[in-house]
Amino acid sequence: MSAQPSPALLRAPKRVLWVLLAVATIAAGLAVFTPRAAAAGWLIAFVFVATIPIGSLEVLMIHSLTGGRWGERLGPVWQNATVIIPLLGIVLIPVLVAMPVLYAWMGDAKNVTPSVAHFYLNWPLYVARSVIALLGWSALALMLPRIGGRPGVLLAGLGMVFQAIMVALVSVDWILSAEPVFISTSFGATIAIVQLLAALDFAALAAPSDLDENTVSDLAGLMLAVTLGLTYINFMVVLVMWYADLPDKIDFFVTRALWPWKWLAIVAFALGSVAPILALLLQKVRLSRRALRAVAISSLTGIALYFTWLLAPVYGPWALATPLLALLCIACAFAALLGAGWPAFLFRHVSNQSPAHE
């Protein structure tokens, strides 16, 4: 597979650095005057940004296990995305610094079972789990394109086990522990599917312009299947929790049914589920690159709003204003680092590698 950085990206750093400087200055100012809202915005942006590279790694591992023409043409797109994974550690640092204002259990663990606070929900173990997850995902991203044949299949299988364990842990750490009274045993699986969908959306946006009609159709079919599955799982989770009538779970949804969170949920559902499903049911959409890009934009916007709906109510309405600024700051930082050639050694080594099934 060939995974080469875009020439346009290589020309971008100087322009991007000026934008990054301006955005970072504004973000720093917000962090001084409204630290909680600024930290919440950064956390939401981090969680959203992480879905694409981690989901891309997930797709590559699935393709190593199953094969298929869709992965042969789209593999380089996902390989390029996985180069971002090591950089996620840098983006995580502000989250770790801001943990006292992000997570109530850092200062007052009265809502957390003492055994949970002692053996799981504490600063050292939170950091350890995040570091292990990012190091493991980075190692898989580097090794998977280099190892073919049966060893590559074995690596992908072990990687999927690692993915299942770590996504279940860090999704609780990064998201649910912001409101530790609420617990969902299916949440990790939901986030893994969200990551998978984000990677497919990214492929629809970043795939080569000469992509053949069969691959476009395959990608559209995968997007439809994953969107339907995610919608069904989320619906069943809400249905089961609502009818179970458990106070700690009902309160989570009651809070998010108030203004403005209710409208945020409606827009997220419309853009992330309803619009993509209805569009992808049409054959002319599934065969059109332009239409598929529009569906991907709608779906990614829905995913971003979904994460905002999960986290922002914990921090208040001001948390609605800061994620976009944080997202712009992270995007500019990534563009500057990638354009400056930081991952050049990755591209050199990944370039011209053969897929695992070749």
Whole-angstrom distance, CA of residue 58 vs CA of residue 60: 5
Whole-angstrom distance, CA of residue 60 vs CA of residue 259: 40
- Structural domain of residue 50, as residue ranges? 7-203+213-343
What total number of domains does the chain contain?
1
Average pLDDT of the segment spanning 311-316: 92
- What does the block give as tokens for 67? 């094969």
With respect to residue 335, please indicate whether it lies within any of the assigned structural domains. yes
Q: Which of 66-70, 129-133, 211-215 has the highest mean pLDDT?
A: 129-133
Whole-angstrom distance, CA of residue 52 vs CA of residue 300: 10
Give me the pLDDT at residue 357, please: 41
Q: Picking from 6-10, 97-101, 322-326, 334-338, which range would have the lowest pLDDT averaged per residue?
A: 6-10
The per-residue pLDDT of the chain, averaged, comes to: 85
Contacts of 66 (CB under 8 A, 6+ apart): none
Give me the pLDDT at residue 243, please: 76
Give me the pLDDT at residue 209, please: 82
Average pLDDT of the segment spanning 112-133: 86
With respect to residue 180, please indicate whether it lies within any of the assigned structural domains. yes
Model confidence band, residue 285 (pLDDT cutoffs 50, 70, 90): very high
With respect to residue 266, please indicate whether it lies within any of the assigned structural domains. yes
CA angle at residue 163 from 161 to 169, to 5 degrees? Answer: 110
With respect to residue 349, please indicate whether it lies within any of the assigned structural domains. no
Give the three-class secondary structure for 287: coil
Q: Is the pLDDT of residue 351 over 60?
A: no
Q: Name the nearest CA neighbour of 59 among 171, 225, 209.
A: 225
Task: Report the percent of the chain where pLDDT is more than 70.
Answer: 88
With respect to residue 357, please indicate whether it lies within any of the assigned structural domains. no
Give me the pLDDT at residue 27, please: 75
Q: Name the nearest CA neighbour of 273 among 219, 223, 221, 231.
A: 231
Asked if 319 and 335 count as a contact pair (C-beta separation under 8 A), the reply is no
Task: Report the percent of the chain where pLDDT is more than 90.
Answer: 53
With respect to residue 353, please indicate whether it lies within any of the assigned structural domains. no
With respect to residue 131, please indicate whether it lies within any of the assigned structural domains. yes
With respect to residue 320, please indicate whether it lies within any of the assigned structural domains. yes
Q: Is the pLDDT of residue 24 over 60?
A: yes
Asked if 81 and 109 count as a contact pair (C-beta separation under 8 A), the reply is no
Q: Is the pLDDT of residue 110 over 50?
A: yes
Give me the pLDDT at residue 328, please: 87
Average pLDDT of the segment spanning 291-300: 96
Q: Is the pLDDT of residue 259 over 70?
A: yes
Which has more pLDDT, 183 or 331?
331
Which has more pLDDT, 249 or 189?
189
CA separation (Å) from 319 to 316, 324, 335? 6, 10, 25
Give me the pLDDT at residue 253, please: 81
